[in-house]
Amino acid sequence: MSAENYNNIRRIIFSTANNPAKGFQLAHEWLDSTYKVKLGPKGYSGLKAELNFYQRHGQEFKLTVAGDMGEHADFSGMYGSSATRFDVTTNIDYKKFTEYEPFMGSGIQYKVALYDKVNFEIVDVLDLAFPKCQGCGEHEIPFVALLGENFNRHGMPLMHNDQPTFSVCVGCQALQELERNIDYIPSPSEYFERHATGESEDSRVKSTEEYCLEQYKYFRRKFTDNLMGIASHNYKITDSNGGGYWSLDFNFQNRAVSNVLPLDIQCEHVI
């Protein structure tokens, strides 16, 4: 069954369900009789699950049928007070976070509605990639910190830097070091001072942003597909006496999680 044929049948079934003169009963009848064989077992069970979700949860989640226009979801609606896209599935094992990632980040949440032949379980797409914090139950999201150059005890530069990978809980902000790389990879501020290209401040800032993105791609390949950001360690002055705090600040965040990651993470020691 081609995607085009599937979408044609899907359109007929949902138009029937939406038509007050026809409704869900007729939509189910047509799906179970006329279209079952045409759809094949996989297409049929997928569309049946979609129709059940629409029928049972349409009001609750204010669902409208999505139109296969690249939004990578079956329905749009509301989950609590958040605009949310819902993707219906009968097997969560086939769903990968990276499939949704390119479509996330514009303030719209993604949920997977998992149908177990009886009920639907609403699964946050972040559950597909990120473990839950034991303390507060929110997601733990990995990122790499590009630290400043290391010095020996005589103050001589060692020509290498540490790049620890941390996970941060987006709820309680608990940090956990997962791995540590040591290499000559300048921190973002070192890169800006020593290597950034361009005449103007703006173009050097842009060059540094590109550098951070390159490092992000590198460490994502090296450590984990689920790596979501690049950070650096900075002292933030908050009062006129020079008082303040150390924090990990994100130089780059993957858009898919930018609405849940904190702007900075208070953190005194990273070495």
Contact region for Zn ion (CB under 5 A) — 30-38, 119-127, 161-169, 253-261? 161-169
Contact by Cβ (8 Å): 35, 49: no
Question: Does 148 sit near Zn ion (CB under 5 A)?
Answer: no
Contact by Cβ (8 Å): 168, 261: yes
Phi-psi region of 137 (alpha: psi -120 to 50; beta: other; left: phi over 0): left
From residue 102 to residue 141, what is the string marking binding to Zn ion with x (rule CB under 5 A)? -------------------------------x-xx-----
Cα distance between residue 174 and residue 84, in whole Å: 27
Question: Does 262 sit near Zn ion (CB under 5 A)?
Answer: no
Q: Of residues 58, 105, 148, 171, which one binds Zn ion by CB under 5 A?
A: 171
Other Cβ atoms less than 10 A from the Cβ of 62: the count is: 14
Contact region for Zn ion (CB under 5 A) — 36-44, 59-67, 165-173, 207-215? 165-173
Which is nearest to 112 in space by CA: 74, 140, 58? Answer: 74
Which is nearest to 82 in space by CA: 102, 106, 51? Answer: 106
Contact region for Zn ion (CB under 5 A) — 19-27, 33-41, 164-172, 180-188? 164-172
Q: Of residues 172, 182, 205, 213, which one binds Zn ion by CB under 5 A?
A: 172
Least CB distance to Zn ion at residue 138 (A): 5
Residue ranges in the chain assigned as alpha helix (H):
3-18, 23-32, 36-57, 97-100, 188-194, 201-222
Phi-psi region of 231 (alpha: psi -120 to 50; beta: other; left: phi over 0): beta
**Which of 139/220 has CB closer to Zn ion?**
139
Of all helices (H) and strands (E), which one includes residue 85?
strand 82-89
**Which of 62/132 has CB closer to Zn ion?**
132
**Which of 57/139 has CB closer to Zn ion?**
139
Question: Does 176 sit near Zn ion (CB under 5 A)?
Answer: no
**Which of 105/262 has CB closer to Zn ion?**
262
Which is nearest to 101 in space by CA: 271, 220, 197? Answer: 220
Least CB distance to Zn ion at residue 136 (A): 3
Which is nearest to 55 in space by CA: 11, 120, 123? Answer: 120
Least CB distance to Zn ion at residue 176 (A): 10
Question: Does 47 sit near Zn ion (CB under 5 A)?
Answer: no
**Which of 170/231 has CB closer to Zn ion?**
170
Which is nearest to 62 in space by CA: 38, 83, 48? Answer: 83
Question: Does 78 sit near Zn ion (CB under 5 A)?
Answer: no
Question: Does 169 sit near Zn ion (CB under 5 A)?
Answer: yes
Q: Which residue has the tokens 């009001």?
A: 59
Contact region for Zn ion (CB under 5 A) — 9-17, 81-89, 169-177, 215-223? 169-177
From residue 210 to residue 249, what is the string marking binding to Zn ion with x (rule CB under 5 A)? ----------------------------------------
Contacting positions for Zn ion (CB under 5 A):
133, 135-136, 169, 171-172
